[in-house]
Amino acid sequence: MYFSKMHGLGNDFMIINCINQNLFLSSSIIKKLSNRHTGIGFDQLLLVEKPNNSMFDFNYRIFNSNGNEVEQCGNGARCFGLFLLLKGLTEKKRISVSTKAKKLIIEFTSNNMIKVNMSEPSFKLENFTLLKNISYNNFSTKLIEENLMCSFVSIGNPHCIIKVQTIENAPVNILGKRIEKNIIFPQGINVGFMEIINKNNIKLRVYERDVGETYSCGSGACAAVAVGIVQNLLSHNVQVNLLGGNLIVTWKGFGHPLYMTGPAKHVYDGHIYI
């Protein structure tokens, strides 16, 4: 099996071209491949597939390191796009891909950055939580079990955003794991800890569902900025400072798509017998 190893700001991926390789990867195989000591090692596995219909150029599938298929991965989308270019699978500078949750538009900009149209964020909690009769206060609600105010949003995948004074002291791994596994989120949830520096800059750490804290989370960056904008805390163009580097997130508000711009890096190509 031939693959590429790539990363987006330290959020790393194994990417496989399934157009010219006929593969079936069970969750147990994915777990073995993701092991950083005895396998390839990655946060997510990305599969490149033929489109499901003529509206799209490719189909994009994402699996977490535990073998669970998920709906969305922003950093992965940029690496997915770069992989298509490097492998000669497309010559387009703007491609449309389908995911488990929605469609994405991936665009290659003149400064070698990759811009992804992540579609409009959704604040409809009933899509991913068992919470009923939620009382909103400026798009926030109290998570009773943890006695803290949280904001919830979907960027194709679910996110819980918590504002903190400083991310250096935030209990990311302790609190992130507890919230991710809370029974009110049947499919789990990503948990972001956001420190607002000013209206154009935030710091962010993210505990990713099924993975743990990662160096970067593209959809988490989009989620945090979306929450900050609807709460009138952020401008429409924000730099998100993550452990692995910076992303630019732009959103004009409701009725408009959200855009994420950042780098992607190819690390190496390889093959493995499974």
| Per-position DSSP letters for 177-209, written without gaps between them | HHHHT-TT-TT--EEEEEEEEETTEEEEEEEET
The phi and psi torsions of 14 (rounded to 5 degrees) equal: -105, 125
Query: What contacts 108, CB < 8 A, 6 or more positions away?
Result: 81, 85, 93, 94, 114, 115
**265's tokens:** 């890096």
| Residue among 73, 150, 160, 222 flagged as catalytic | 73
In 3D, which of 21, 121, 18, 10 has the Cα closest to residue 63? 18
The CATH 3.10.310.10 domain(s) of the chain lie at 2-117+264-271, 125-256
**Are the beta carbons of 46 and 79 closer than 8 angstroms?**
yes
Task: Name the residue type at position 120.
Answer: E
Instruction: Centre a 10 Å sphere on the Cβ of residue 137 and count the other Cβ atoms it contains.
Output: 9
Does residue 79 have an active-site annotation? no
Looking at domain 125-256, its CATH superfamily turns out to be Diaminopimelate Epimerase; Chain A, domain 1 (3.10.310.10)
pLDDT reported for residue 251: 98
Distance of CA 173 to CAs 97, 180, 215, Å? 32, 10, 13
Tell me the whole-structure pTM to 2 decimals: 0.91
* Token output for 166: 């400083």
For helices 74-86 and 218-230, angle between their N-to-C axes, nearest 10 degrees? 130
Greatest pairwise CA separation for the chain in angstroms: 53
The pLDDT of residue 65 is 94
C-alpha dihedral (166, 235, 207, 18), degrees to nearest 10: -150
Closest CA to 146 of 194, 184, 186: 184
CATH architecture of 2-117+264-271: Roll (3.10)
Bridge partners, 212 (sequence order): 208
* Residue in 79, 150, 217, 222 annotated catalytic: 217
Query: Is there a catalytic annotation at residue 150?
Result: no
Q: Which residues fall within 8 angstroms of residue 144, CB to CB, at 6 or more apart? A: none
**Which segments of the chain have a pLDDT < 70?**
131-138, 144
Find, among 273, 274, 272, 270, the residue nearest to 5 by Cα. 270
Among 23, 99, 90, which residue's Cα sits nearest to residue 59?
99
Q: How far is CA 107 from CA 54, 104, 144, 190, 225, in A?
A: 19, 10, 41, 26, 20
CA-CA distance, 191 to 104, in Å (whole number)? 22
Specify burial of residue 133 (Cβ count, 10 A radius: 0-12, 13-18, 19+): exposed
Which tokens hold the place of 190? 């990503």
